[in-house]
A and B are shown apart, each in its own frame.
Chain A
Amino acid sequence: MRKDSRGFKIAFIILLSVLVVVCFLLGNAKGTIEIGVKRIFEVIMNDDGSTQRMIIWNIRLPRMILAALVGVNLALSGAILQGVMNNPLADPGIIGISSGAGLFGIAILVIFPQHQQFVTIAAFFGAMLAAFIIYLLAWKGGIQPIRIILAGVAVSALFGAGISGTLVFYSDRVYGALTFMNGSLSARSWPEVQTILPYTIAGIILVMIFAQKLNILILGDDVARGIGLNVEATRLSFTALAALLAASAVSVIGLLGFVGLIVPHSVRLIIGNDYKYMFPATALFGAVLVMLSDTFARTVLSPTEIPVGIVMAVLGAPFFLYLLRR
């Protein structure tokens, strides 16, 4: 089958869907207590009061769902940012969108701890602010790809410093400061799933509807405008969507870098740059990557857990360097 044929792309997407199921079951099965696949289904279907039911229902099941949703959001966010910023290295973590979200989210947690429900909204504004500053710094008669990265690194450092400062001064008020900085799925359960789920669903629907617009935007601003795309409005709405996806992920598990870099890139290498196929493949692969990494982070040094962000950084940093050198 030809690598760029429609059939190949669809086959790849089906393969990823199978992998999602496999990784999901693997994550539920593995841990200090191993649980067989058949038993997993049994305890999900009915509450028999067993310890296994408790482990699956209260801990592993929501955690794997959350891992998948976070993976989808961050991967889609990266795929969108790479398109609108015309830069293959754009990733919400690297260019500071996540730090912006993190700082604003944390600010709500420490200053208005009674208004926790606004964390995601605040995180979204932080992410948008970061994106806005990046555009402002990098815009010079069009977006210069290299300036985006430089501006992004600066923005990331700035907001990162803000987060560290907040965590130092209010360490008593922020639970699990360290896990926030490294992104961790530890002790996350159904409430977090509920927080992020609407954004994931909305994100998937919107990217599928508007994939073609992003395909046109990557032809270049002039060409896109020439064939009738409202370039400014498209870029703004996609940036907002990317910010929202990243912000919702950050507000439930903290800063998890590199997912938005590794996933869209690997997908692009395999099935090419057509966003109609890239988006679904990216979403599925994002889910696979975070579920696998988290299962690994949870089991490799069992009973000690390492934050999934550390696993991701170990995978992502070399990948980033490889892309820079290509």
Chain B
Amino acid sequence: MKNDIIMEVKGLSVSYKDNKVIDCIDLAIEKGKIYCIIGPNGCGKTTLIRTMSRSIKPQEGHVFLSGSNIFKLKTKNVAKKMAVLYQSNATLSDATVRELVQYGRFAYKEWWKGSYEEDTKIVDWALEKTRLTDFQKRKVNTLSGGERQRAWIAMAIAQKPEILLLDEPTTYLDISHQLEIMELIERLNKEEGITIVMVLHDINHAARYADELIVMKDHKIFKKGDPWTILESDVLKSVFRVEAQITKDMDTNKPIFYAKKVI
């Protein structure tokens, strides 16, 4: 029996002027899993995630969130189910970490109603989950890259989403901060049951944390499957054009990918 589908993409096409960036993509995201989208530069990964998160309107096709067309839902109602973390989060704002996380509760506030205690509880929870409780009074733009990324994640989970989309959450971070973010995302999935869809550059991170890998090439989905299936096949060879060696990580039983040379 098939699991619950939380998000579905049907016949999605996006073009900029005459260039097709996304070419008729179909994709189903099952509840509770971690998906990683990988693929070479310019294959359309970021555009796909931006379209799934309603930032870009597609020329053709639809995105469904729990069965409803995402572009027809009220944006506040989308925000209560789905949170997004984009790649560049430069901001003019000089909000503190706590204020930023409070903004994550925006969708739940109407003019006068909305429980203050409830919000405070959830903001505290989000800060704790991301281990930012001690940083809550700092201004976001004074934080280091890793801390700042955690602050944005805290804001996203304060939305209490069922699904979290992330576009290269570890770019520009050093290795320990990369791992810290990946572990945080995994915890959110395992402990809170949040479905994760993220674009990643690092194939090994993708293979280690994902339940399913989605490989994109030339603006289409080339293949989708669990990490072993994807890495052991010739998929990566033809998509990334590299000769690679696959080994097994003895601790996690996940495949490790080592690119040896360009072909």
Interface string of A210-231 (1 = CB under 8 A from B): 0010011011111101111111
Whether A274 contacts B95 by the Cβ 8 Å rule is yes
The answer to whether B79 has its CB under 8 Å from any CB of chain A is yes
Instruction: Give the residue name and chain of the B residue nearest to A272 (CB).
Output: B94
A230-B90 CB under 8 A given contacts A215-B95, A222-B55, A222-B84: no
Beta-carbon contact of B107 and A227 below 8 Å: yes
Which of the residues B79, B94, B156 comes within 8 Å of A273, measured between beta carbons?
B94
A86 within 8 A of partner (CB): yes
| A42 at the B interface (CB under 8 A) | no
Assess whether B51 is interfacial by the CB under 8 Å rule: no
B83 at interface, CB cutoff 8 A: yes
Chain B interface residue number, banded = 20 to 34
- Which chain B positions have C-beta within 8 A of A141? 16
One of B77, B85, B106 near A216 (C-beta < 8 A):
B106
- Count A interface residues, CB 8 Å: 24
Residue of A nearest to B77 (CB): A228
A229 to B104, CA, bound (A): 10
Residues of A within 8 Å of B75, CB to CB, are 225, 228-231
Question: B103 touching A216 by the CB < 8 A rule?
Answer: yes
A221 vs chain B, min Cβ distance (A):
8
Residue in contact with A227 in the complex, picked from B93, B103, B139, CB distance below 8 Å? B103
The smallest beta-carbon distance between B43 and chain A, in angstroms, is 19
Q: Which residues of A are found within 8 Å of B89, using beta-carbon distances?
A: 219-220, 223
- What B residues does A47 contact at CB under 8 A? none
Query: Do the beta carbons of B93 and A219 come within 8 Å of each other?
Result: yes
CA of A7 to CA of B89 in the docked complex: distance in angstroms? 29
A218 touches B93 (CB 8 A): yes
Q: How far is the CA of A215 from the CA of B99 in the complex (A)?
A: 10
- What are the residues of chain A within 8 A of B91 when measuring CB–CB? 218-220, 223
Distance A212 CA – B93 CA, assembled complex (angstroms): 12
> 1/0 per residue B48-63: CB within 8 Å of A?
0010011100000000
Docked-complex contact A228 and B106, CB < 8 angstroms: yes
- Given contacts A220-B91, A230-B75, A274-B95, A225 and B106 within 8 Å (CB-CB): no
Q: Hey, what's the 0/1 contact readout for A228-248 against B, CB within 8 Å counting as 1?
A: 111100000000000000000
Chain B interface mostly = mixed
Give min CB distance, B46 to chain A, whole Å. Answer: 11
Residue of B nearest to A87 (CB): B92
Task: Please judge, given known A-B contacts A4-B139, A222-B55, A222-B86, whether A229 and B106 are in contact too, CB under 8 Å.
Answer: yes
B93 touches A226 (CB 8 A): no
A231 partner residues in chain B, CB cutoff 8 A? 75
Is B79 in contact with A228, judged by CB distance below 8 angstroms? yes
Q: Which residues of A contact B126 (CB under 8 A)?
A: none
- Complex CA gap A225/B79 in Å reads 8
Beta-carbon contacts of A131-170 to B below 8 Å, as 1s and 0s?
0000000000100000000000000000000000000000
Distance of A88 Cα from B94 Cα, bound (Å): 14
Residues of A within 8 A of B184 (CB): none
User: Given A227-B159, A228-B78, A230-B75, are A219 and B84 also a contact pair (CB < 8 Å)?
Assistant: no
Tell me the bound Cα distance from A231 to B84 in angstroms.
Answer: 15
- Judge whether B156 and A226 touch: CB under 8 Å: yes
Chain B residues near A219 (CB-CB < 8 A): 89, 91, 93, 95, 100, 103
* Cβ contact within 8 Å between B93 and A273: yes
When distances are taken between beta carbons in the complex, the residues of chain A under 8 Å from B54 are 225
In contact, B93 and A215 (Cβ under 8 angstroms): yes
Give the CA-CA distance A215 to B91 in the complex, in Å: 11
Does B84 lie within 8 Å of A226, measured CB to CB? yes
CB distance from A326 to the nearest CB of B (A): 14
Interface centre among B75, B79, B85, B155 (most CB of A within 10 A): B75
Q: Which residues of the partner chain B approach A229 to less than 8 Å between Cβ atoms?
A: 75, 106
**Is A226 in contact with B103, judged by CB distance below 8 angstroms?**
no
The answer to whether residues A228 and B107 also contact, given A222-B84, A274-B95 and a CB cut-off of 8 A, is: yes
The residues of A that contact B159 with a CB separation of less than 8 Å are 227-228
Closest residue to A229 on the B side, CB-wise? B106
Name the residue on B nearest A88 (C-beta): B92
Is B76 among interface residues, defined by CB-CB distance under 8 A?
yes
Closest residue of chain A to B54 (Cβ to Cβ) is A225
Set of chain B residues within 8 Å of A228, measured between Cβ atoms: 75-80, 106-107, 159
* Chain B residues within 8 Å of A86, by CB: 92
Write out, one digit per residue, whether chain A residues 68-89 have a CB within 8 A of any chain B CB (1) or not (0). 0000000000000001001010
Q: Is the CB of A223 within 8 A of B94?
A: no
30 contacts between A and B (CB under 8 A): A4-B139, A83-B92, A141-B16, A212-B106, A215-B93, A216-B106, A218-B93, A219-B89, A222-B50, A222-B55, A222-B84, A223-B86, A223-B91, A225-B54, A226-B84, A226-B86, A226-B156, A227-B79, A227-B83, A227-B103, A228-B76, A228-B80, A228-B106, A228-B107, A228-B159, A272-B94, A273-B92, A273-B93, A273-B95, A274-B94
Q: A222-B55, A228-B79 are in contact. List 11 more A-B contacts (CB 8 A).
A: A83-B92, A215-B93, A216-B103, A219-B95, A220-B89, A223-B91, A223-B152, A226-B79, A226-B86, A226-B156, A227-B159
Which chain B residues have a beta carbon within 8 Å of chain A's beta carbons?
16, 50, 53-55, 75-80, 83-86, 89-95, 99-100, 103-104, 106-107, 139, 152, 155-156, 159
- Nearest first, the 9 A-B pairs at minimum CB distance are A228-B79, A228-B107, A228-B76, A226-B84, A273-B94, A222-B86, A218-B92, A272-B94, A227-B106
